């Protein structure tokens, strides 16, 4: 179990007792402000505990949804547009407008860690919106996977998400031409 600093203090009763528990190896300090009951935990779990309000997005979300085999170098985390900058070299922060930020957030178990991630339908919209900023071969690999699974997606949700974004007509046109 991964715990924040305040959760760890509450669990052991005080800062002093937490320090003793770390010394006695009853709990392990993973990094500043993040503790766990196991010695080794997935890095993704540490990142998500460190930034609990962020949502997995971008290339890392495509990888977690099984839409690409390319393992990204950084964790792509979406945050509302007015959020503070994340000072973590492992993270690429994606600022999202407040009105569309909550669309498509779901909780998913990835490698034994519950994470907040955008659903496949929202990620399709993100793919179409950002196709000019990602490597062409990665874009083509993901779009082919979406074509294969289109019957398993909730089309009404895709249309709802597309309508909420600026340039929704461009997104809908790209959806019809490249996926359907």
Q: What is the mean pLDDT of residues 40-69?
A: 93
Instruction: Collect all residues with Cβ–Cβ distance below 8 Å to 83 and sequence separation of at least 6.
Output: 53, 93, 95
Question: Does the pLDDT at position 32 exceed 80?
Answer: yes
Output the pTM of the full model: 0.87
Tell me the average pLDDT of the chain: 91
Per-residue pLDDT at 85: 94
CA-based nearest residue to 132, from 91, 101, 170? 170
Per-residue pLDDT at 150: 86
- pLDDT class for 112, splitting at 50, 70, 90? confident
- Under a CB-based contact definition with an 8 Å cutoff, are residues 46 and 86 in contact? no
């Amino acid at each position: 179990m991964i715990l924040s600093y305040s959760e760890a203090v509450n669990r052991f009763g005080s800062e002093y007792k937490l320090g003793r528990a770390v010394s006695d190896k009853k709990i392990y300090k993973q990094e500043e402000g993040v503790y766990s009951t196991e010695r080794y935990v997935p890095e993704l779990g540490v990142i998500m505990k460190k930034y609990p309000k962020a949502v997995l997005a971008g290339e890392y979300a495509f990888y977690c949804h099984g839409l690409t085999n390319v393992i990204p170098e950084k964790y792509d985390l979406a945050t509302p547009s007015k959020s503070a900058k994340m000072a973590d070299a492992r993270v690429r922060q994606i600022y999202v407008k407040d009105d569309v930020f909550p669309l498509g957030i779901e909780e998913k178990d990835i490698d034994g860690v519950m994470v907040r991630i955008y659903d496949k339908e929202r990620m399709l919209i993100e793919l179409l919106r950002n196709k000019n900023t990602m490597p062409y071969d990665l874009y083509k690999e993901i779009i082919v996977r979406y074509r294969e699974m289109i019957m398993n997606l909730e089309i009404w949700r895709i249309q709802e998400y597309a309508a909420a974004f600026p340039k929704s007509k461009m997104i809908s046109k790209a959806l019809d031409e490249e996926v359907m």
